[in-house]
A = this chain, B = another copy of it.
């Protein structure tokens, strides 16, 4: 939709129309009382709207179609599901992912893993490579941390979700992790999106704290366009003027995403609030709003944590969260996904 200036000349309109047709599209003129609008008919995703902005007489260009396709519910109306170690992500059962922000030691990880499994988690989160605002902060244990995650998987049967920070880590991380997490700060790191897309490994894609919902879906589109359909989206709070909490949970994003896309939608109430006191309330809200799962930071001893201690729950508080979330999930006609009995892991098994 090309909006002409109120005083655009006939010549300028003709030029703009010609430009539309040069792109292989059809132009449809609407002569308004104040100005002329040119409707562009055809697949506008293929053309570049900026080319019209310098044409004389053009005021604005407004895109009508969504810029994503593979991520859109308009093209794939049914919910996308995929199995993760016996749990069907995106299905009616709520998926619970929990664990420490960082893997810090074998004991810390195993204790936390057993505790969250006991409380009802389906998958274990834990960072071996950590994006930290400060170069002087703990940066993660690297491959040693991955080995601890593998041991925890062996011990508890939970699949592993861990963050990937660079394309060259794909071969290493796909050996250890069941789900590659793309963190908020890397949501528009396109080299990384392409790499995880090509990996064909399940991906948990976190919304950047300043990305619009459309941009999150475009980032998913990068991954999907490599044929990798096992993508979960995760709201983790956006940046606003409010400073009482670390981020602002965009709870609206849950029903908006569920209406725009067929992909599973999770909430991370630990990052979206930044304070352990508020995590449980916002976890309940996420499920009430329609989220398909939660990813929650849990630490056996938060005040000893090397990162994000302030937003981590102790295991007993996490157990209480699971119990409350279970009640809310039933109130909205869902339930927690059953926790599989087997301890076997299933890295890289079949696609939905």
Contacts and interface: CB of A to CB of B under 8 A. Distances in A.
A343 interface: no
B30 A41 contact: yes
Given A213-B242, A256-B278, A288-B285, A39 B32 contact: yes
For this chain, the copies found in one complex come to 4
A28 to B, nearest CB: 5
A330 to B, nearest CB: 7
Nearest to A32: B41
Contact of A50 (B289, B310, B331): B310
A304 to B, nearest CB: 7
Contacts of A330: 331
Contacts of A52: 303
| Interface size bracket, A side | 35 or more
A110 interface: no
Given A239-B210, A249-B252, A288 B277 contact: no
Given A242-B238, A287-B288, A32 B64 contact: yes
A208 interface: yes
Nearest to A246: B252
A274 B287 CA distance: 21
A1 to B, nearest CB: 7
9 contacts: A19-B303, A51-B309, A68-B134, A133-B188, A165-B189, A185-B188, A252-B273, A281-B290, A328-B332
